[in-house]
């Protein structure tokens, strides 16, 4: 199947169908922040600036991987890139596998650096491709957008459910280790909606990965996306199997705590269903250094850079207000706040012996 067709199908489905987890959530609703009625912090004194992998961000926010490789991807990437440059944020491009198979698709990725000459930009490739393409080919992807990092996305659930996929997973950690060793830029490893558990986080830190993006359960469910594709391609078995995995994975809040408990010197990115600045504040209190969003940006990015800016500023303002109401003026101080964890998340913490 044409990879460009698949990419456009993914965008169309995310725009027109309910694609988030059906019953499960991020579990951020089980995280409470201590409200300060006497905050002693002026809103104008709030400083959201952070350092992430050597780059100064005006706020701890990135636009996560969405697309690339088509005319539709070109428009989306252009509007996102223009905005993150203006706001001093960052972005990760969508999977660049299509660029290795169809070099003529480079225009849809190159526009990112054209529009964002100084912003933090990460290249992106799936972990399934690491054995198929060597370091030299990955360097091509990186250089094509002058990327500041390489994101390797882990999507075993999606690979198992895609109608055209034939996944093989054995030996991929070893291949990843070799890539990390050879590249001169930091490697970020992200899930795609099912979260990362502490056992895998520890292995990723051991091989030299610099950042982990948990991309937990509670946001876009790629098993649900592939369910709609299976219907379209008349794969009755995949239709039924995909339905059973709509709520599969580790909720985002639990995954943040999993990764935090297993790592020491690695940056932690929270994503997977973050839908407000309050969600971001909670994620940072749980241990995240950076927050990332994708689905909330998709529709605005199809309209204009101005709509993307409005959406990102809404998240920024929500985070700013949450900081005032918790009595802190800097992100480092927000990290020091001990959140109140209740309900199912508290049970998970207890059962897993995590540090909360």
Joined tokens for residue 34 = 């201590």
Joined tokens for residue 92 = 């990760």
The domain ranges of the chain are 3-352
- Within a 10 A sphere around the Cβ of 147, how many other Cβ atoms? 23
The answer to whether 214 and 256 have CB atoms below 8 angstroms apart is yes
- Within a 10 A sphere around the Cβ of 59, how many other Cβ atoms? 24
- Render pLDDT for 113-160 as a digit per residue (tens, 0 to 9): 999 999 999 999 999 999 888 899 999 999 999 999 999 999 999 999
3-class DSSP state for residue 146?
coil
Q: How many CA atoms lie within 13 A of 249 on its CB side?
A: 40
pLDDT value of residue 262: 97
Question: CA 276 to CA 269: how far, in whole Å?
Answer: 15
pLDDT (tens place) for every residue of the chain, 356 residues total: 578 888 889 999 999 999 999 999 999 999 999 999 999 999 999 999 999 999 999 999 999 999 887 888 999 999 999 999 999 999 999 999 999 889 999 999 999 999 999 999 999 999 999 988 889 999 999 999 999 999 999 999 999 999 988 888 999 999 999 999 999 999 999 999 999 999 999 999 999 999 999 999 999 999 999 999 999 999 999 999 999 999 999 999 999 999 999 999 999 999 999 999 999 999 999 999 999 999 999 999 999 999 999 999 999 999 999 999 999 999 999 999 999 999 999 999 999 999 76
| Residue located via tokens 């985002």 | 252
Joined tokens for residue 144 = 């094509």
| CA dihedral of residues 328, 330, 336, 338 (deg, nearest 10) | 40
The answer to whether 270 and 291 have CB atoms below 8 angstroms apart is yes
Joined tokens for residue 78 = 């252009």
Joined tokens for residue 314 = 């809404």
The answer to whether 305 and 82 have CB atoms below 8 angstroms apart is yes
Which of 82, 89, 61, 92 is closest to 292 using CA atoms? Answer: 61
Element (H, E) at 121: strand 120-126
Going by the DSSP 8-state scheme, the letter that residue 103 receives in this structure is G
Q: Output the CA torsion sign for 333, 338, 342, 344.
A: positive
Question: CA 298 to CA 15: how far, in whole Å?
Answer: 8
CATH 3.20.20.70 corresponds to the domain 3-352: yes
Chain-centroid distance, C-alpha 222: 13
- Within a 10 A sphere around the Cβ of 96, how many other Cβ atoms? 29
Query: Pairing mode, if any, of strands 187-191 and 31-32?
Result: unpaired
Q: Which residues on adjacent β-strands are paired with residue 47?
A: 330
Q: Output the CA torsion sign for 310, 311, 315, 316.
A: negative
Chain-centroid distance, C-alpha 64: 4
Query: Pairing mode, if any, of strands 31-32 and 340-341?
Result: antiparallel
């Amino acid at each position: 199947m044409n990879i460009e067709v698949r990419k456009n199908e993914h965008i169309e489905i995310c725009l027109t169908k309910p694609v988030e987890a059906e019953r499960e959530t991020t579990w951020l609703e089980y995280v409470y922040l201590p409200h300060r009625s006497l905050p002693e912090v002026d809103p104008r004194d709030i400083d959201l600036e952070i350092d992430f992998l050597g780059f100064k961000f005006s706020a701890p926010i990135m636009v996560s991987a969405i697309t690339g490789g088509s005319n539709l991807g070109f428009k989306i990437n252009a509007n996102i890139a223009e905005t993150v440059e203006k706001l001093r944020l960052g972005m990760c491009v969508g999977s660049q596998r299509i660029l290795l198979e169809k070099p003529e698709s480079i225009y849809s990725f190159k526009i990112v650096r054209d529009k964002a000459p100084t912003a933090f930009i990460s290249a992106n490739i799936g972990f399934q491709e690491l054995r198929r393409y060597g370091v030299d080919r990955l360097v091509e992807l990186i250089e094509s957008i002058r990327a500041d990092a390489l994101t390797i996305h882990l999507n075993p659930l999606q690979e198992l459910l895609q109608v055209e996929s034939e996944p093989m997973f054995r030996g991929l950690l070893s291949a990843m280790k070799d890539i990390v060793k050879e590249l001169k830029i930091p490697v970020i490893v992200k899930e795609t909606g099912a979260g990362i558990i502490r056992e895998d986080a520890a292995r990723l830190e051991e091989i030299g990965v610099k950042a982990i993006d948990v991309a937990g359960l509670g946001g876009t469910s790629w098993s649900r996306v592939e369910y709609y594709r299976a219907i379209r391609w008349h794969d009755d078995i995949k239709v039924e199997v995909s339905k059973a995995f709509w709520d599969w994975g580790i909720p985002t809040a639990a995954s943040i705590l999993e990764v935090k408990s297993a790592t020491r010197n690695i940056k932690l990115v929270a994503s997977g269903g973050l839908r407000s600045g309050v969600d971001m504040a909670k994620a940072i209190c749980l241990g995240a250094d950076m927050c990332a969003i994708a689905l909330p940006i998709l529709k605005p990015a199809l309209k204009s850079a101005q709509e993307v800016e409005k959406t990102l500023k809404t998240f920024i303002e929500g985070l700013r207000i949450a900081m005032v109401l918790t009595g802190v003026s800097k992100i480092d101080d927000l990290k020091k706040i001990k959140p109140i964890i209740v309900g199912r998340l508290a049970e998970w913490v207890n059962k897993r012996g995590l540090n909360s």
